[in-house]
Structures are given as C-alpha cells and as structure tokens.
Amino acid sequence: MKRFLRNFKLTFTFAIIVSVGILAQQKFYVNLNDRSNDTFKVTVFPKNLTNDNNIFQFASTAPGTYQIMDIGRFVKSFNAFDEDGDQIDVEKISTNQWEIDDPEDVYKITYTISETWDTPVKTNKVYPMTGTSIEDDHVLINGQAVFGYFKGKQSDPIYVKLEYPEEWIVGTALKLNKNGFYVADTYDHIVDSPILLGKLTKAETKVADTDINVYTYSKTGLIKSDELLSIIQDILEAENKFIKGLPVKHYVFLFHFEDISAGAWEHSYSSEYVFREQPLTKNFTNSIRSVVAHEFFHIVIPLNIHSELVEKFNFVKPVMSQHLWLYEGITEWASDIMQLRAELFTLEDYLKEISQKLKINDFYKQDISLTELGKRATELPQQYANIYMKGSVIGTLMDIRLLELSNGKKGLRELIIELANKYGKHKAFSENNFFNELVAMTYPEMDDFITKYIKNTEPLPVKEYFDKLGINYYESKGVDSSKISLGIRFGVKGQKLFVAKSTKAAETGILAGDIIEEIDGTPVTLKNARSVIGKLHKLKAGDSINITVSRGDKKIKIKPVLTAQEVKHAFEVNPNASEKQLKFREVWMKNL
C-alpha cells in the first residue's frame, strides 16, 4: 500500500515537477564541514527511480585519464533508505556497482568515500590531478572520484550542494543556481567539471570574448593567482590568435601547490594543475607555461574534435580511442608551434623541443603504433606517455607535409580549424572512418603518411622533412664530453624509482626493472630523487658512482663508470639553405 500511495503522489504532482524542470534531477549534498577521516560524506536524493535504475555506478575511469581508477575501491559505506528512514537492502555486486532492492522506494542514498590522495591502494594508484584531496584548509574534487549515478541515468541532470566554511572560496566552471546548487547537465558534465575550494586566491581577465578565471591553492601562500595570470597571459593570447578565436565564453584554471608535482588534467571549460609549492623561478614558470599551453588547447581537441567514444563515454567498461594521437599528440604539437609562431619561442627553442621529444621516444618500444597505443592506453601504462612525444613529432611532420602539398596554403593548423568548424562540441566524428575523412579533406598522399607513421611503425622521415625547411637533422652527432650518461631512463613503481630502460646495460650492469635504492650512500625516495640524481650532473665522464639496486629478492651494489653523452637528434639551421627552402621555412613559421 505504501508503494501505491507514493506512486499516486508522484502521478498527482507530475505536471508540477515537469513545470519546474526537475523531473530527472538527482541532488547530491556533500558535507565538507566534516572533513574527518579523509572521507567525503555524501547524501543523494534521487527522483523517479524504477526497477531499471537498480544499480548505483561509480566510475571505472574517466575521459582523458587513460588509466583504470575503479573508484568503487574508495567507497567505505553505502546505504539506501526509504521515506520513513527504514533501510533498503543493497549489495555490492562488483568493484564499482551497488545493487539496490526496490529502487522505487528509495528516498535517499548515503555513502562515504575516501579521498584518493591519502588512501593507499595496491594497484592503479589514481593520478593526483584526477583524484581528490580533503584537508583542513582546502578540498579538491574530481567528479568521478566523488559522485556516482544510477543505471540508466548517466544523461540526467545532477545538482550538487557543497557545505563548507563560509570564508572559503570556490573555483569551478560549474554554474551556481539561485538555490545554491552547482548544476551539471549530465554525469559526464560533473566529471568534466573539477572543483577546488578552500583558502584560495582568485584573479580574472578577458581574452577576446572569453572570461578567464584563475583560482589557486598554495600551501603557505607563496604563489598567488595574479602572479600566475601574468605568467600565462601571453600563452592565452597566442592560442586565441592561433585558432582564430577561442571557442568558449568562459574558462577556469585551478592551480594546486603543495608537496608534489604530478601534472594536469584538461576539461571542456577548465583545467587543473598539481605542482609542488616552490618559488616561481624561470625554470618553474617555463614548466607552468608549457603545461598550460597544452591543457588550454584541449578546448579545441577533443572538446570540438572527437569521436563518439569520447562523446558517449562508457564509465562502466571504457573503450579507448585509437585517435589518442590526435587528442594528446596533436595538442602537444599545437602547444609548441603556436608559441613559435607567436614569437614566444625562438626557432632554436622549438628545435630543442623536437629534439627532446625524439630522445625520449627512443626509450619507448618502437613496434607499437600510435593507433595501437591509443586503443591499449590503459593496458600499456609504461608506454602511454610516448603519445606526447612521438605523437607531437607526427604533428610536426604532418604539418610540413600538408604545407608542401598545398604549396604553403594549408597546414595542420588550418586543418584543425576546419575540423572544429565541421564538427564542434556536439557532433562527433566516426571512430572508424576518421582517417578516410582526413584524406578526403586534404590530399590522397596523406593516406600514405597516415598508414606508414600513425597506423604502422615505419621510421619517421625527420631528416627528409626538415631538409625541406633548410634545417639539417642528425640522428647521431658524436659525443658531448661536457655531459655524462648512464644510459638509463627512470620510472615510478609504487613509491620507488626504477629503471624503465637501460641502453648501456652491458657496460653499467644496470638492468631494466632494477629498483634504485641508494646513490652514493643516499637512500633514494620519490621526494629526494630529483635532487639526488641532479648531483650526477656535477660529475664528468670517467667518474664512477656507487648505486645499490633491488633486483628480485636481492640487493646488488654496482659501481658503473659514467660515459660521455652521445649527441642524438640534433638540429642545425642550414646556413646555405636555398631560396626555396628559406621561403618554405618562412611560411611554416607563421600562421596562414
């Protein structure tokens, strides 16, 4: 009888509910006044659940993270109640799913979920910039790590009310309604809209017709938003010019400066950055500028150029896109080339960037194509980052080839603008047919380029293409006795530094997979790794160093001799370039 009466009541008030536009609205209340136990306390008031909505889903991963998160691991309690306060049976049926008996009777759901920063997990540690942190003076929220959704309601609106100290400032791209709720059109929208709140500073400006807001948490107050805005202002202006106007009316930067540097995560109308708090030296500001240039360009790719796999993201069993080369590789290319064309980079600066990317690419497996790397990104975490390196170089070469085929009239920049106009935020391209569309929009010869260098793994034609610009390229150019090398590339495994690749294993005795325990008697941790390894640069070729590594169950002491560093992937502007080469280089270095 109780269910019948409730259904009658819902039927009776149907017209009223529709009239105020909250028929499918799900309300989430998050109590941030209680920040105990590093957990978020969440209460959900659903609307109009049926038997089809009997599963509450937490995210397996999220767009743009390229990692398995399994947020359900962080849920500590999950309960459902009817209108009388009686509990409704729920059962955890998988890592990320809770099944609810009689969902029609659900009045509210309550759950607690731990922050990801300070909660240890054995595998798949969540990147800090994609996770959550809850502290006395601030909170970082990424939607997929706090909120879930009912099966069948991923596309329903979500309203979020945050309860927090009144002196706190909130930074987010979400809009606040008159009732104090942050409004997201869908679950995808809440995931796409991080929130940073607490003791923040704020700065704002306008670039063309776009409102820009910067919010900053700095642990000791060392770094302020107005300083950061002055650092990135010319980057924003350069991007506006590069793409002929920003495609968003508002954009929010969220900066977090505390004890770690982890990177950044892009969103449609915002991006968030996690850096270790430190003085704004030239090197540090350059690093911030570089990351901002990349993340801000995501307002074009993938916001306005994406396949259906991005537009309709599967949070339960995600399917990765083969076009990761476009979303991240071409975005990285754009972040560099636009600075060259805005004269924020010199040509020498730009060539150093390309050289560095090629050097890093050498440490990755060369038999994995960019399309395969995209589709298997979550399976290949040790290879994934090469999408930013090789993918960016692919962008450089593609740009040169397009300019050559069009007699200098249309490069990759112009193609991107054309693609953004053709598709846009609400129109996806075909995951399977996109390469054919690219060829149809450009030249038949691009099919050969795509097949060789994106779909397959043929060696990149760096020398051939840069010669067209009157720039000489050398894959190897002797050694530099002023720089030393152990021939190793480091990676992070848990809380340890390990050898991801060793190109001089026979000479040094250091093998891929070795965990670095000590260097010259100093225990190596993630916190001191940069400074300990940095001391090696004070040594010279012929010097030796004591290194202790863990290899399996054994600790092994090694004393490798440092050798002179090979000069690889060197670029030089050809002083004898022909008139044709000079003219082509001039076209390449400017926006058309």
pLDDT digits (tens, 9 = 90+) for 240-256: 999 999 999 999 999 99
pLDDT digits (tens, 9 = 90+) for 6-55: 343 333 333 333 333 444 579 999 999 999 999 999 999 999 899 999 99
Confidence of residue 500 (pLDDT cuts 50, 70, 90): confident
* Rounded CA separation 227/285 (Å): 10
Q: Which CATH code is given to the segment(s) 300-473+574-592? A: 1.10.390.10
Give me the residue spans of the domains in the chain.
2-198, 202-284, 300-473+574-592, 487-561
pLDDT given for residue 92 in this prediction: 98
Residue with structure tokens 């038999």?
A: 367
pLDDT given for residue 530 in this prediction: 72
3-state SS class at 132: coil
pLDDT digits (tens, 9 = 90+) for 530-555: 777 777 777 888 888 899 999 988 89
Mean pLDDT, rounded, for 473-485: 82
Q: Average per-residue pLDDT in the chain?
A: 91
* Rounded CA separation 256/314 (Å): 29
The percent of residues in the chain predicted with pLDDT above 70, rounded, is 95
Q: Return the C-alpha torsion angle 66, 128, 356, 404, nearest 10.
A: 40
pLDDT given for residue 478 in this prediction: 79
> C-alpha angle with apex 404: 586 to 471, nearest 5 degrees?
50
pLDDT digits (tens, 9 = 90+) for 409-441: 999 999 999 999 999 988 999 999 999 999 999
Domain 2-198 indexed as CATH 1.10.10.10: no
pLDDT at 5 over 80: no
Confidence of residue 528 (pLDDT cuts 50, 70, 90): confident
Q: Are residues 67 and 127 in contact, defined by beta-carbon separation less than 8 angstroms?
A: yes
Instruction: Identify the CA nearest to 64 among candidates 284, 358, 388, 341.
Output: 388
pLDDT at 472 over 70: yes
Confidence of residue 60 (pLDDT cuts 50, 70, 90): very high
Domain 202-284 indexed as CATH 3.30.2010: yes
- How far, rounded to the nearest angstrom, does the alpha carbon of residue 151 sit from its chain's CA centroid? 27
pLDDT given for residue 24 in this prediction: 58
Confidence of residue 486 (pLDDT cuts 50, 70, 90): confident
Q: Are residues 393 and 350 in contact, defined by beta-carbon separation less than 8 angstroms?
A: no
Residue that wins the pLDDT comparison between 477 and 227: 227
Confidence of residue 494 (pLDDT cuts 50, 70, 90): low
Instruction: Identify the CA nearest to 251 among candidates 236, 273, 261, 235.
Output: 236
* Rounded CA separation 60/99 (Å): 16
Q: Return the C-alpha torsion angle 322, 328, 333, 338, nearest 10.
A: 130
Take residue 474 and report the two structure tokens written for it.
């050398």
pLDDT given for residue 489 in this prediction: 78
| DSSP bridge pairs for 138 | 198
Domain 487-561 indexed as CATH 2.30.42.10: yes
pLDDT given for residue 565 in this prediction: 76
Q: Which residues are within 8 A (CB) of 14 and not within 5 positions of it... i.e. 6 or more apart?
A: none
Instruction: Identify the CA nearest to 524 among candidates 567, 479, 492, 552.
Output: 492
pLDDT at 346 over 80: yes
Mean pLDDT, rounded, for 488-517: 82
pTM equals 0.86
